């Protein structure tokens, strides 16, 4: 084969091509090609087979690749492996096999200690080499962008949930949320909700909704004919209108503006503005107060006490109040308290002793050796209870009992603190009582005048005080407290109000409150602030 040999080197030095043209008389041999490559410094990746094919087939004007470099191999950047679907669409309806639509919220739940993610570090690449024998470094592998974590802990390259709840990747944040927030109403399109933590509903819970909740439930609106089971507390800022179909159970306290035509069970207290034609069972106390404060129709049962403004009505609506105590303490403490009156056709029962037509005027009923007896409110002294507690050597409970009923003069500093909440909003008072009662003794009053009456006989450890109240606002009440000529003038006061006007704030601060807090405060935040204050005071 004779002709003119042309050698072409790629710009990236990764290949060499030769072409033989007919306008020359040079004999093309293997030695000639190798010499031409050597003259140009090409010593790597020689393609012997291609050179042999060129000489064998003697094809002119064809580019033959006679040398190849080895490209660098890119490594792998660091990446996260998720143990859940990070692109999960929570509120997207699912089509069942039968063609019907399941509107239940699709929530990805993890338990405490579950592995939720693994990080895979970068894998380095491999070097390449050019036809000249030069080394080519690969592009450096990068670490993945670091994620921010909420309630997720890292152990090496693995990540675990610090607590159970709803998991989601939002932007650059991996979080486990112990609280589920439902914007607007929870209705037919919401379906069943099964959640391990707290649930907050901004609107109403409509007919037919079913919930099973491992934490607390807070409803900003009303609850209708629902089926709800909650491990913690229920707070319904509107009220419960059950339509004779609602079944609601709580492991803790149930607080609502009203309860109507619903079946309620509470492991703690039940507190409402009124209860109408409902079946209510509480393992502790039932408290019905406020402007209405009526229990009308239905059946109300408690372990320790039932308290209301009035029971029944003039028309003689059949109403049952029942105390069924589960232990000695509850039996001795059992009572029914009525601020106004009990109308005819009301049946009351305390631990098996029944009055089928109770007509109690203002007062409280206790079961004594003589049967059901009426006492003036607050006049009954639980001497038998105290004697039994001391006999059983339950000294701690005896001391708590004596303090609560003013049977001792000095207060044990290690016992619960007494907090007085002053606010004209009855629902806010119920909410604050629910927040505080497990950690403190709590008294609530709805006006400045009632607060002054309370202070005549009691000295709380802290007062939570609203500013906007009729007749006597918070600043006037605090001024009167600070003007007292006794030790009560120095009672710590926190303003807890929604007022943001600078003049009002300055007016309040001039009276030297310990804090000025803005509504609303979440339960955990409020308890943290109060706990820190008492800890500092004790220190």
The domains of the chain, with CATH numbers, are 2-68 (no CATH), 79-177 (no CATH), 179-268 (no CATH), 416-538 (3.40.50.2300)
CA distance 522 to 526: 6
* Burial (CB count <10 Å: 0-12, 13-18, 19+), residue 112: middle
More confident of the two residues 214 and 330: 214
* Model pLDDT for residues 494-539, shown as the tens digit of each residue: 998 888 888 888 888 877 888 888 888 888 899 999 998 988 877 6
Is it the case that residue 70 has pLDDT exceeding 80? Answer: yes
**Residue range 405-413: average pLDDT?**
45
* Model pLDDT for residues 95-126, shown as the tens digit of each residue: 566 665 454 455 677 888 999 999 999 999 99
Give the lowest-confidence range in 29-33, 231-235, 351-355, 434-438.
Answer: 434-438
List the one residue out of 358, 387, 388 whose CA is nearest residue 371.
Answer: 358
pLDDT value of position 535: 86
Enumerate residues 6+ apart whose C-beta is below 8 A from 422. Answer: 444, 445, 446, 447, 448, 450, 451, 463, 464, 465, 466, 469, 474, 477
* Peptide bond connecting 502 to the previous residue in cis, omega within 30 degrees of 0: no
pLDDT value of position 539: 62
pLDDT value of position 265: 97
pLDDT value of position 371: 87
User: Which residues are paired to 295 by β-bridges?
Assistant: 275, 311
Is it the case that residue 422 has pLDDT exceeding 50? Answer: yes
CA distance 122 to 301: 65
Give the confidence band of 406 by pLDDT, cuts at 50, 70, 90. very low
Give the confidence band of 408 by pLDDT, cuts at 50, 70, 90. very low
* Model pLDDT for residues 17-63, shown as the tens digit of each residue: 999 999 999 999 999 999 999 999 999 999 999 999 999 999 999 99
3-state secondary structure of 440: coil
CA distance 403 to 441: 11
């Amino acid at each position: 084969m004779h002709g003119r040999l042309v050698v072409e080197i790629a710009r990236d030095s990764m290949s060499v091509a030769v072409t033989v043209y007919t306008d020359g008389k040079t004999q093309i041999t293997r030695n000639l090609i190798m010499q031409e490559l050597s003259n140009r410094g090409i010593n790597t990746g020689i393609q012997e087979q291609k050179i042999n094919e060129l000489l064998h087939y003697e094809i002119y004007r064809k580019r033959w690749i006679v040398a190849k470099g080895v490209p660098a191999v890119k490594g792998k950047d660091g990446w996260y492996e998720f143990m859940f679907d990070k692109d999960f669409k929570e509120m997207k309806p699912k089509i069942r096999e039968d063609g019907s639509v399941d509107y239940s919220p699709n929530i990805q739940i993890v338990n405490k200690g579950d592995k939720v993610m693994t990080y895979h570090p970068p894998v380095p690449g491999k070097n390449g080499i050019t036809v000249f024998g030069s080394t080519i470094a690969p592009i450096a592998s990068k670490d993945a962008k670091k994620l921010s974590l909420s309630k997720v802990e890292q152990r090496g390259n693995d990540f675990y949930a610090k607590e159970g709840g709803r998991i989601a990747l939002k932007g650059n944040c991996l979080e486990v949320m112990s609280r589920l927030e439902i914007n607007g109403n929870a209705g037919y399109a919401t379906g069943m909700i099964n959640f391990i933590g707290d649930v907050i509903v901004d609107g109403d819970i409509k007919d037919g909704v079913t919930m099973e909740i491992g934490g607390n439930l807070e409803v900003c609106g009303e609850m209708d004919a629902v089926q709800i089971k909650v491990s913690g507390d229920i707070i319904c800022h509107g009220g419960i209108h059950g339509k004779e179909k609602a079944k609601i159970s709580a492991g803790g306290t149930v607080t609502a503006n009203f309860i109507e035509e619903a079946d309620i069970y509470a492991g703690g207290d039940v507190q409402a503005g009124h209860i109408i034609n409902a079946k209510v069972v509480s393992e502790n106390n039932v408290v019905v107060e406020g402007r209405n404060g009526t229990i009308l129709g239905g059946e109300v049962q408690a372990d320790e006490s039932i308290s209301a403004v009035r029971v029944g009505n003039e028309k003689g609506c059949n109403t049952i109040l029942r105390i069924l105590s589960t232990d000695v303490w509850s039996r001795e403490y059992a009572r029914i308290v009525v601020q106004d009156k009990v109308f005819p056709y009301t049946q009351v029962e305390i631990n098996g002793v029944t009055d089928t037509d109770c007509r109690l005027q203002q007062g409280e009923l206790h079961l004594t050796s003589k049967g059901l007896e009426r006492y003036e409110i607050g006049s009954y002294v639980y001497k038998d209870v105290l004697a039994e507690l001391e006999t059983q050597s339950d000294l701690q409970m005896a001391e708590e009992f004596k303090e609560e009923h003013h049977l001792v003069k000095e207060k044990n500093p290690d016992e619960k603190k007494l907090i007085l909440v002053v606010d004209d909003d009855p629902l806010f008072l119920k909410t604050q009582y629910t927040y505080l009662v497990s950690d403190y003794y709590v008294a609530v009053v709805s006006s400045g005048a009632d607060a002054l009456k309370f202070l005549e006989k009691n000295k709380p450890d802290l007062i939570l005080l609203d500013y906007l109240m009729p007749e006597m606002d918070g600043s006037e009440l605090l001024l009167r407290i600070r003007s007292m000529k006794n030790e009560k003038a120095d009672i710590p006061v926190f303003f807890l109000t929604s007022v943001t006007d600078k003049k009002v704030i300055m007016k309040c601060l001039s009276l030297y409150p310990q804090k000025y807090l803005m509504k609303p405060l979440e339960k955990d935040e409020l308890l943290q602030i109060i706990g820190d204050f008492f800890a500092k005071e004790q220190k």
